[in-house]
Structure formats: structure tokens, C-alpha cells
């Protein structure tokens, strides 16, 4: 069975900024994303490594079926620089009735090693995802959650225009330690201003 080329509500054209782009995730992205997810589990809501079979099944059984939905539960995008995949993310847990969704983001593992470059690329991704959420999907609010042990990530989110709403104390256990989760959001009106 063939994999659709894009979400119907997005169309085939990417959103772009300074050589970076986001567009509908593709089946060919699955293996690279699986490797990044397994390498960065402490940043994710993932407790066991994904197998190749798990990843392909997820793309075929979940992602593919969302492409033609009028109100998908998630919109996953590939993040590219000069058309080369460098990360992925999207808007998940979409609540169409209340016009909101949660931003997810994962950069290629090697690209996370330089905090300044990471902050710049997260900023570009978050700008593109705000354009997607607010201008293309018509959402009113985007939220995101970050684990406090990744201070550079929390700083990057806040510098990308997301305001801290609160802290979920000792929300997750990472490598045997309790870690807070930071919740931040951006409203459409803030983005438009």
C-alpha cells in the first residue's frame, strides 16, 4: 500500500525560512527518526527503544491514515535544511474544538551537541510551526512541554516566543532521577503581533 505524499490540509508545498523548510513527514524519514528517538529517549515520552518494525508499523497504521483526515489528531512534519532531513516534529494532541495543539520537536542527535546552533535551529522550527499552526491550521494556542534537565532546550523554547505557564514538579523519572516538566505556550495574537 502506498504512503500518501502529504497531509490534505497542508498541501505539497513546504513552509520555508532561510533555507530551512517543514513539510509533511514521509515514510522514507522513518528510519532516521527512529534512530534519533532511540538516541534521545531522555528528552521524549519514550521508555523503550523502537524497533524498525515498530516504526514502520506506526507510520503505516497511524501516520498514513491521518494524511487525508479533515481534523487529524496530529500533523507531523519533516524539518530540512537545503532539502536534507535534519529533524522532525509537529503539532500533536490536536484539539480542534478548542483550537489548540502541542508542539513536538526533535533535532538530529549530532545537531544537538552545539547549544547555540541548537537554539537557532529550534527557533527557526518554532517560527515555521507557529506559521503552520496559526496561519495554515487556524489554531489559537500552541503549547509545549520540556524536561528541566535540558536547560538549553527550555531556554531555546522561551527565546522562540513561548511563555512559561508553569512547572509540573517531579513529573518524570529520567535515569533514576525525578525531573520537572516545564509547560510553555504561544497564542495566535502574540504571534501576529
**Distance of CA 130 to CAs 29, 133, 184, Å?**
22, 5, 13
Rounded CA-CA distance 150/166 in Å is: 16
Q: Is 0.95 surpassed by the pTM of this model?
A: no
Task: Walk me through the domains of the chain, giving residue ranges and CATH numbers.
Answer: 15-141 (3.40.630.30)
Q: What does each of the 193 residues of the chain score in pLDDT, given as a tens digit?
A: 567 788 998 888 999 999 999 999 999 999 999 999 888 866 666 667 778 999 999 988 899 889 999 999 999 999 999 999 999 999 999 999 999 999 999 999 999 889 899 999 999 999 999 999 999 999 999 999 988 888 888 999 999 999 999 999 999 888 889 999 999 999 999 999 8
Among residues 33, 14, 12, the alpha carbon closest in space to that of 22 is found at 14
Amino acid at each position: 500500500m502506498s504512503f500518501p505524499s502529504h497531509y490534505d490540509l497542508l498541501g505539497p508545498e513546504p513552509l520555508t525560512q532561510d533555507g530551512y523548510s517543514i513539510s509533511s513527514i514521509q515514510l522514507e524519514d522513518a528510519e532516521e527518526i527512529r534512530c534519533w528517538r532511540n538516541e534521545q529517549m531522555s528528552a521524549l515520552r519514550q521508555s523503550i527503544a523502537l524497533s524498525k518494525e515498530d516504526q514502520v508499523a506506526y507510520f503505516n497504521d497511524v501516520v498514513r491514515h491521518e494524511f487525508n483526515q479533515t481534523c487529524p489528531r496530529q500533523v507531523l512534519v519533516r524539518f530540512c535544511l537545503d532539502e536534507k532531513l535534519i529533524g522532525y516534529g509537529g503539532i500533536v494532541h490536536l484539539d480542534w474544538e478548542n483550537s489548540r495543539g502541542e508542539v513536538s520537536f526533535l533535532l538530529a542527535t549530532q545537531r544537538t551537541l552545539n547549544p547555540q546552533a541548537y537554539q537557532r535551529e529550534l527557533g527557526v522550527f518554532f517560527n515555521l510551526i507557529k506559521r503552520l499552526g496559526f496561519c495554515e491550521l487556524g489554531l489559537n494556542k500552541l503549547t509545549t512541554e520540556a524536561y528541566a534537565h535540558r536547560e538549553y532546550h527550555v531556554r531555546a523554547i522561551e527565546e522562540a516566543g513561548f511563555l512559561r505557564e508553569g512547572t509540573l514538579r517531579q513529573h518524570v523519572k529520567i535515569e533514576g532521577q525525578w525531573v520537572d516538566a516545564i509547560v510553555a505556550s504561544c497564542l495566535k495574537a502574540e504571534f501576529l503581533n
